[in-house]
Amino acid sequence: MLSTLLESRHITPPLPDAKAGELAGQIAEATGWQPYPQSIAATGGVVAFLARRGTEKRLCLLWREGSQPDLVSDFCREQVSAEIDGVKLAGQAGYLDHMNAEGLRKHFSFTRPRLIGVQPSFGAGDRLGLATPAHVRSVRASDMRPFFAQQSIREMTRTGRTPEQVMDSATFGVFQEGWREGFGADADHLKTKEDINLTVAAGFTMFTIDPGDHVDNAAEAANMPLLSEKLAALPWPALRINSEDLCRRFIGQSCRLPDDSVVTLDEEAFFRAAAKYGRALAHTAQMYRHLKAKMGGRPFELEMSVDETATPTSVEEHVFVAGELRRLGVEWVSLAPRFVGEFEKGVDYIGDLAAFERSFASHVAVARHFGPYKISIHSGSDKFSIYPIAARLAGDLVHLKTAGTSYLEALRAIATIDPALFREILAFAIERYPEDRASYHVSADLGKVPAPEGLKDSDLSAVLDQFDAREVLHVTFGSVLTAQVGGTPRFRDRLMRALEENEEIHYDTVRAHIERHVRPFARAG
């Protein structure tokens, strides 16, 4: 079996579980490194695998002694040697660093992100850089196409990570689990051209433009004279049209949607939509053109997100936004409106489900008419009550985006693995919440969060099911991961070490939770 792999010039298909396990055992006996069986793959005369010794992980390569495979030079070198079934092998065991991640992406194409397109998809943010194997396991039997690399610049700043680190951890996780079905990489909530530059350089494939700072929420309640002033003050050169022509494009014009509903913008509805979203559209178009130039002809996907704004996006406003994106030459694969109701972090939907269903159906109809493109559900973690509605109404036109929920489930694992550490983190989160909540829309009441010192070890996991505690732990992630005492991380190293030492507990905890997110979107039959 090993000899056959070593003769392969091209990427070998996944080994059957029994054969992968057998070969992993032989490699472990010969090298002292225990391979993850599903990771074993070969190309260009080299067998590659991810392996573990204690809590240390390495990317290992083996080839016939005396041969000089070309691809080896693209990986860091720490020489090893072995003999398996009489075959003498040379090799190396390298750290999970950026150079080795780039080597994998170059020679094992399934570890490179790709375009996902208009297919039902799921974004799995990984704030710790350890959860991708669990995310892979959660979508194996799912119809959802995964984005395993997904993080916003805000999250990277708060966790002290770079776009390259986000991409690399996804690459190694995909390789470890032997995922061959493809995945996307979402540079989330980009606000500046510099954000684009950083994430393009790191190899992301989808770019979520967040023009929320340019949305005029005051237009929601403004009277007509004020709306007229706001319209006149829009950046018309950037919009590449004048106010008179824009008025003619929309006022009194009817749009029949695929559900046979008709949307007509009267003067007030148009003025309100243009005043509210005009600057956001100009910013999005400028960001799109910069991104297109930066990509230099390479294909990419774009999402526009206005979810983190104060007022819901009406169906009339959605028609205006989609129509203007099209006129401005922007090509997009998904759009995240601001839905009715409340999408607070890490907890279920708060609001009238019937009202959400009516509104969501309208947004899907607009997406079918102007696209089709996907409706993206941001702050989508733990919104279990709306998933059946979204799945039924949107079909393939849905992208569900999560991030903090995997961090919270990592804390659930910590509650089992190291109760004392969990209590420390909870106490610290309570202390930090008043400040850290400032940039989030949350409503947790500190008075309802259980005091950590009063909890039995057996009760700690249930804290993650309590509304207020879950939100407090969610929004304080950055403080927890960057807190220091005397120049030494207060929690991060202990947290990471505990999860690495008990990775199957971590993976199982996250997998079970993420499966609850993707299961409602399974296609019937």
Active site residues: 188, 303
Helix (H) or strand (E) holding 190: strand 184-190
Give the start-end residues of each E strand in 214-257.
Answer: 254-256
CA gap 516, 523 in Å, rounded: 15
In DSSP terms, 303 is beta-bridged to 208, 334
Taking the C-alpha atoms of residue 230 and residue 486, their distance in angstroms, rounded to an integer, is 51
What distance in Å separates the CA atoms of residue 92 and residue 95, rounded to the nearest whole number?
10
Contacts of 229 by beta carbon, 8 Å cutoff, 6+ apart: none
How far, in Å, CA of 285 to CA of 279, rounded? 10
The closest of 102, 101, 115, 110 to 169, measured between CA atoms, is 101
Listed residue (171, 155, 174, 166) closest to 201, CA to CA: 166
Which helix (DSSP H) or strand (DSSP E) does residue 106 occupy? Answer: helix 98-107
Spatial CA neighbour of 277 closest among 245, 324, 237: 324
Judged on CB neighbours under 10 Å (0-12, 13-18, 19+), 54 is: exposed
Half-sphere exposure for 256 (CA within 13 Å, toward CB): 1
CA 491 – CA 14 distance, rounded (Å): 38
Dihedral angle computed from the Cα positions of residues 84, 89, 95 and 97, in that order, rounded to the nearest 10 degrees: -120
* Strand-pair category, 301-305 with 334-336: parallel
**Largest pairwise CA distance in the chain:** 86
Query: What token pair was written down for 213?
Result: 């700072």
Contacts of 94 (CB under 8 A, 6+ apart): 58, 59, 60, 61, 75, 76, 77, 78, 100
β-strand partners of 87: 84
Q: Per residue, what are the HEC states of 379-392?
A: CCCCCCCCHHHHHH
Which value, to the nearest 10 degrees, does the dihedral of the CA atoms of residues 271, 275, 278, 280 take?
Answer: -140
State phi, psi for 61 to the nearest 5 degrees.
-125, 140
How far apart are the C-alpha atoms of 344 and 349, rounded to whole Å?
7
Number of helices (H) and strands (E) in the chain: give both, helices first.
20, 18
State the CB neighbour count (10 A cutoff) for residue 290.
Answer: 15
235: Cβ–Cβ under 8 A, 6 or more apart, which residues?
A: 278, 279, 282
